[in-house]
Amino acid sequence: MLSAELKLQIEEATTRLKNGEVVGFPTETVYGLAARIDSEAGIKRIFSTKERPFFDPLIVHVASIEQAKSCTSEWNEMAELLATNFWPGPLTLVLPKSKNISDLITSGLPTVGLRWPAHPVAQELIKAVGVPLAAPSANKFGRTSPTKAQHVREEFGQAVQVIDAGASEIGIESTVISIKFLNDQYQLALLRKGAVLQTKMNEVLFKTRLRFQWVEAIDKKESPGHMQHHYMPSMPFIVCRNPHLKLSELSTILNTRLAELPDLIDGVKIIKPTQAIKKIEFLKLSNDPAQAAREVYSQLRAASLRKPEALCFIQMPQHKGEMWESIFDRLYKAASLIVD
The interface with Mg ion within residues 218-277 (CB under 5 A) comprises: none
Cβ 85 to ligand AMP shortest distance, Å: 20
Cβ 51 to Mg ion shortest distance, Å: 12
Residue 270, C-beta contacts closer than 8 angstroms, at least 6 positions apart: 229, 232, 261, 262, 263, 264, 336
Based on CB atoms, which residue is closest to ligand AMP, 96 or 120? Answer: 96
129 dihedral zone (left: phi>0; alpha: psi -120 to 50; beta): alpha
AA identity, residue 264: L
- Tell me the β-bridge partners of 92: 176
Based on CB atoms, which residue is closest to Mg ion, 137 or 147? Answer: 137
- Are 162 and 24 in contact by the 8 Å Cβ rule? The answer is yes
The interface with Mg ion within residues 131-150 (CB under 5 A) comprises: 136-137
302 DSSP 8-state letter: H
Based on CB atoms, which residue is closest to ligand AMP, 140 or 241? Answer: 140
Based on CB atoms, which residue is closest to Mg ion, 117 or 136? Answer: 136
The reply on whether position 175 binds Mg ion by CB under 5 A is no
Cβ 291 to Mg ion shortest distance, Å: 22
Cβ 137 to Mg ion shortest distance, Å: 3
Element (H, E) at 201: helix 198-205
Cβ 24 to Mg ion shortest distance, Å: 13
Based on CB atoms, which residue is closest to ligand AMP, 53 or 273? Answer: 53
The reply on whether position 27 binds Mg ion by CB under 5 A is no
Q: Is the C-alpha dihedral spanning 122, 195, 235, 273 positive or negative?
A: negative
Cβ 145 to ligand AMP shortest distance, Å: 7
First to last CA, the chain: 50
Based on CB atoms, which residue is closest to Mg ion, 9 or 137? Answer: 137
How many CB atoms sit inside 10 A of residue 152's CB?
27
Among ligand AMP, Mg ion, none, partner that 176 touches (CB below 5 to 8 angstroms by kind): ligand AMP
- Are 292 and 327 in contact by the 8 Å Cβ rule? The answer is yes
Among Mg ion, ligand AMP, none, partner that 339 touches (CB below 5 to 8 angstroms by kind): none
Q: For residue 20, which of 6, 35, 33 has the smallest C-alpha distance?
A: 35
User: Which stretches of the chain bind ligand AMP, using CB under 6 A?
Assistant: 56-59, 94, 106, 109, 111-113, 136-137, 173, 176, 191-192, 223-226
Residues near Mg ion, by CB under 5 A:
136-137
